[in-house]
Structures are given as structure tokens and as C-alpha cells.
Structure 1
Amino acid sequence: MRGVDLVARVHHLRKVDFRRGLKQGDLDQLVVDRTPQQLKWMSAAEYATFPDIIFVRHLKYKVEQRGFRTREITLATTLLDSEPLRG
């Protein structure tokens, strides 16, 4: 609504299924998320301003650092373009 994009790490307990969404590449997909139920602290007027659906891109990558375990990180973002910026 404000034109702000988000990039956030997905909580480690949330399972992201890379088999369901529009494939953008290996471990890269676009999915549609629905608006959750209204929260108790939110007014009905404020909740009504949110869209019913939002497009989200999920990415997974490995962080390899010598001397440490390899970790997998999953990101969720509203930046949907898979091409890097060129300038």
C-alpha cells in the first residue's frame, strides 16, 4: 500500500514447500499468500485496507563458511523480479 518492499528471513519452524508455486529457478518460486485473520489489536477499518492476496517470492540458499556448518537460509520477499538490477 505504501510502495515499500520487504525482504525477511523465514522463521526456521515455518516449512516452505518449493513444489507448490510458480518456479523461477532452483529453490526460487512465486506464491500467493492470503491475508490472515484480523488480529485482536487491529481495528476493522484498518484490517479492511489490506489486500486479500499478496505475491511473495521464496528463495533458499546455502551459507558456506570455512570451519562452520553449512546453513540453509530461506527468504521471503515482495521483490518479485528474478533479474538483478543493471545500471
Structure 2
Amino acid sequence: MNLTKIAYKPVGLLLGALSGVIAGAAFKLAWKFVAHEENAPQATDEHRDLRRIMVAAALQGAIFAAVKAAVDRCGAAATRRIAGTWPG
């Protein structure tokens, strides 16, 4: 394992936490736009139908994956600019 990979580990953890915060906010806004509701349904909410719960879960998963990939990619590119090598 090279020095860049070792040095990137704590940065990667911070970026992961940051991507979770960004994705959570993005999902909340997207759900308001798509469903015209303040809060997305929870899986255990007995008063919401399964279809709506599954749509919310799929949207949330897609947003989280896209944001995480974007943040990870930007972090790796910044590391290459700073250290001269790709961290992955």
C-alpha cells in the first residue's frame, strides 16, 4: 500500500460523511418536489402504501449512490492534483 492510499483513508472517511449529509438534503428536496410531501414514508409506516415506500427507497438509494460517486471522484481527483497519484 503506497503512502497516497494511506493518507487518503481519513480523507475518504470525511468525504463519505459529507456525501451522506449532501445526499440526505438532496433526497429531502427531491421527495418534496416529486411527491409534494414534507417527509418521505418510512418502511414501517402502516398508513403508507407499499408502492410509495418502494418509490421513496429507490429514489433515496439512487441519490445516495450518485452523490457518493461524485464526491469520491472529486476527492480522488483532488488527491491526484495535490499528491500526483491516484489514491485508489
- Tell me which interval the TM-score lies in, with the shorter structure as reference length: under 0.3
Task: Give the strand-richer structure, 1 or 2.
Answer: 1
Normalising by structure 1, we get a TM-score of: 0.26
Bigger Cα Rg: 2
Q: What TM-score results when the alignment is normalised by the length of structure 2?
A: 0.26
